[in-house]
Structure 1
């Protein structure tokens, strides 16, 4: 069963390897590590260190949606004034109705 190592332990092993004169294969054999595991962990840690030095951090894109609700505009009324009489008619009233209304008011 392989030993679980913390990131700090991996960093120590990587530093030890980089300061040694051993080949990767010799170093891994001496520390009972799989070369592929050591190389993968070394790449991950180096990449993380590079991100920290450059000021970049790993970002996760999260899709979000926003819903907008608009109130329906209240249609304005038309106001007809004649002498002292005021008549308020909703906008969109058919012109035929207005013509009939005006004819009726003239009578």
Structure 2
């Protein structure tokens, strides 16, 4: 083989080494290869071959800003020294019955 190998030749060597069952050092000695070059080209090949991380389908959650709780306006009823605060949503029939009872 020529001194400079193509990417295809390196791929063949990687496959041969795996199938041989030999350690990389032993394989390189048998094929007159520099172990440094073998590791370099193998790492370079793995970088190209490594799949890109798929983009996550997760979306960063943003905490919802709680809407300010608005209190309904209050009705203030005074009777003598007593004061009664009622929501403005108080049932009118109930309110009429209360006023009748207080009078």
TM-score by length of 1: 0.45
